[in-house]
Amino acid sequence: MPMTKDTKTAPQAILETLIRDAKAAGAEAVDALMYESISNSVSVRLGAVEEVERSENRDLGLRVIIGQQQASVSTTDFSPASLKEAAERCVAMARAAPEDKWCGLAPAERLAKGPYPDLDLFDQQEPSTEKLKETAIACEDAARAVEGVTNSSGAGASYGSGASWFATSHGFYGESTGGSHSFSVSVLAGEGTGMERDYDYDASTHLCDLKSPEHVGRSAGERAVRRLNPQKLESQSAPVIFEQRLARSLIGKLAGAIHGGAIARGVSFLKDKMGEQIFPASLNVIDDPLRKRGFGSSHFDGEGVTNEKLHVIENGRLTCWLLNSAHARQLGLESNGRATRGTGGPPGAGTTNFYLEPGDLSVDALLRETGSGLYLTDMFGPQVNQNTGDYSVGCSGFWIAGGEITHPVSEITIAGNLHEMFASLTPANDLLFKGSTSSPTLRVENMTIAGS
């Protein structure tokens, strides 16, 4: 990380200075966040480098609270004079801000305390630009070598790492680091108006956990060729299977519906469902901030509150909302360590490593059990009514007949309601973690399919 070793400009010293300046200017409570990040990426197309990018960022955010008023400022100038000016400006803004009776720092007794277990979030390996180029080209070459692939939309490889430091005026200080590696490729198969496109990718916090670029490239090429000559479907109702990489979007809709802010505003289709069974009784959804090598892992949340594993859906029942301290106060509850934080404003809320546990059936067994229906492999802009749970999306995929995938289909829209969709889910056993939200392949028992 591009961080100075000078103790006068070390992150903890900078945050302590900023908090001290804000208190001197009249703040009653203060928190401050500092982060540094590096990203490096290479894009190629048809074997030639198209773009090389590298960025190094350093930012700092301050929040001050006076009574029931709060304000936030951010800066990239870390000089003592600039920090003092930012603190004074933030205090002046807070005095002019409207009252928010729910604002405040997290309760002191809920703050995380070390020592912390090692979550192994960063392998300290930064690939060279040349290595990223080699990876991207190898991935694209493997995709283009698949018979039937006729063109490429390009491939890319990237690396990113970051560190953050957080402190409060009531005694919390914590720091965290993380990193990720990824590469992807998108190619086209066929000719003229009959061309089809598909992609594949891999991502991990550790370089050693990635698949080979050749494996991912071949997969992308085979996926594109497999989509050639799609047929139309007649409108009907049928089971729909969401391929693994699309299934996580359904689990993401659950996360949005249990967000503390949405519940406090009364704008969620699940607002009255606490404690009720909304998934089949055999299913569990977990949010685990302490998962080793997890994309969303951390020992504490964006307010310094201790992070703990949550069984969000336990035996099919909804057990909790995703809460920061302000949401918790508004709902008469306690924060469950799900505050998120950026440098530009007060805390939000969100998931960490959010996933639905796998089932017992293999994907092939799930197909056989389904008999006939739609196997979904691509979606275009899902639409969800957050108040009712009504769901629709344009999509393409494959038709299932006799328990097997038979032929590609396209120009389809599927629709349903998330209440009924959640209640009829059947998971396969193919859960993989490629991001902070994960799911195995999922079958929805019945959806409306609009075709020709």
Q: What is the pLDDT of residue 314?
A: 98
Q: Is residue 3 over pLDDT 80?
A: no
Q: Is residue 224 over pLDDT 60?
A: yes
Q: What is the pLDDT of residue 110?
A: 95
CA distances from 336 to 99, 263, 393 (A): 24, 15, 33
Instruction: Dig out the tokens for 325 from the structure.
Output: 């301290």
The predicted model gives 427-447 an average pLDDT of 97
Binned at pLDDT 50, 70 and 90, residue 9 comes out as low
**Lowest pLDDT segment from 8-17, 36-45, 299-308, 433-442:** 8-17
pTM value > 0.85? yes
Enumerate the CATH 3.30.2290.10 domain ranges in the chain, comma separated.
7-41+49-110
Q: What is the pLDDT of residue 451?
A: 87
C-alpha–C-alpha distance, residues 257 and 260, integer Å: 9
Query: Could you tell me if 248 and 435 are in contact, meaning their C-beta atoms sit under 8 angstroms apart?
Result: yes
Q: What is the pLDDT of residue 388?
A: 97
The predicted model gives 39-49 an average pLDDT of 97
Domain 7-41+49-110 -> CATH class: alpha beta
Output the 3-class SS for the chain: CCCCCCHHHCHHHHHHHHHHHHHHCCCCEEEEEEEEEEEEEEEEECCEEEEEEEEEEEEEEEEEEECCEEEEEEECCCCHHHHHHHHHHHHHHHHHCCCCCCCCCCCHHHECCCCCCCCCCCCCCCCCHHHHHHHHHHHHHHHHCCCCEEEEEEEEEEEEEEEEEEEECCCCEEEEEEEEEEEEEEEEECCHHHCEEEEEEEEECCHHHCCCHHHHHHHHHHHHHHCCCCECCCCEEEEEEECHHHHHHHHHHHHHHCEHHHHHHCCCCCCCCCCCECCCCCCCEEECCCCCCCCCCCCECCCCEECCCEEEEECCEECCCECCHHHHHHHCCCCCCCEECCCCCCCEECCCCEEECCCCECHHHHHHHHCCEEEEEEEEEEEECCCCCEEEEEEEEEEEECCEEEEEEEEEEEEEEHHHHHHCEEEECCCCCCCCEECCCEEEEEEEEECC
Give the β-pairing of 173-189 and 196-204.
antiparallel
pLDDT per position as a tens digit, 225-234:
999 999 999 9
Instruction: Dig out the tokens for 421 from the structure.
Output: 């969709």
The predicted model gives 360-368 an average pLDDT of 97
Burial, 130: exposed, middle or buried (Cβ in 10 Å; 0-12, 13-18, 19+)?
A: exposed
The predicted model gives 4-18 an average pLDDT of 76
Q: What is the pLDDT of residue 1?
A: 42
Q: What is the pLDDT of residue 381?
A: 84
Q: What is the pLDDT of residue 7?
A: 44
pLDDT per position as a tens digit, 81-133:
999 999 999 999 999 999 999 999 999 999 999 899 999 999 999 999 999 99
Q: What is the mean pLDDT of the chain?
A: 95
Percent of the chain with pLDDT over 90: 96
pLDDT per position as a tens digit, 268-304:
999 999 999 999 999 999 999 999 999 999 999 999 9
Q: What is the pLDDT of residue 4?
A: 44
pLDDT per position as a tens digit, 256-269:
999 999 999 999 99
The predicted model gives 426-451 an average pLDDT of 96
C-alpha–C-alpha distance, residues 308 and 305, integer Å: 9
Q: What is the pLDDT of residue 452?
A: 77
